[in-house]
Amino acid sequence: MQTLDRDELSIHVAAPAEQRYALVSDVTRTPQFSPEIVKCVWLDGATGPTVGASFEATNTVGRGRPWRNRPVVTAADPGREFAFARTERLAGTVVWRYRFEPEADGTRITESYEVTRPITRLGWFLIERMYGGRDRRAQLRAGMRHTLERIRATAEQDSSSAGMDDPATEAIARRHHHD
């Protein structure tokens, strides 16, 4: 039987931490980044990331049918940390966390998960047989890498697009183009 405890990956993004936090903490955008999330919506009147807010995530992995879960935001510190916990009867509790650390020319984003209540034997059976999750740890790690790379691409594209909306930046770009 597989076991899962915790893992984390980091990536450098050439953009300020506050902007990256806004991107990641808007869970409705998660399907743009995560290979396993197909839809996220805020619940119970929540419209954004606050501690205690809940959302519904629709996940899919491997060959199995999509399923829904209802994570709850556990940390919402703009520019520093966004975290949520999802609990499923057979699949335990997993806390997903994004930390944002300013670096010289951008932000280091670290995505991590920690299993705080283990997956049951029946949960592992379903993951392995119905969803083809023979090495769930490797799948989650690959998913984190994919998510972080997509966040970086989106963040850096947003930053470069935003810069070109600034008249001073456009003037500098035109001046360099003609030099």
pTM for this prediction: 0.85
Q: Is 175 exposed, middle or buried (0-12, 13-18, 19+ CB in 10 A)?
A: exposed
**b/e per residue, 63-78, with b = 16+ CB within 10 A?**
eeeeeeeebebbbbee
CATH of the structural domain 6-178, one choice from 3.30.530.20, 3.30.930.10, 3.40.50.150, 3.20.20.140:
3.30.530.20
For the chain, the structural domain boundaries read 6-178
* CA proximity to 12, closest of 130, 94, 107, 84: 107
pLDDT for 44:
96
pLDDT for 51:
98
pLDDT string in tens for the chain (179-residue length): 778 899 999 999 998 899 899 999 999 999 999 999 999 999 999 999 999 999 999 998 877 789 899 999 999 999 999 999 999 888 899 999 999 999 989 999 999 999 999 888 888 787 777 777 678 889 899 999 999 999 999 988 877 775 444 333 333 233 333 33
Q: Is 123 exposed, middle or buried (0-12, 13-18, 19+ CB in 10 A)?
A: middle
Give the three-state DSSP class for 21: helix
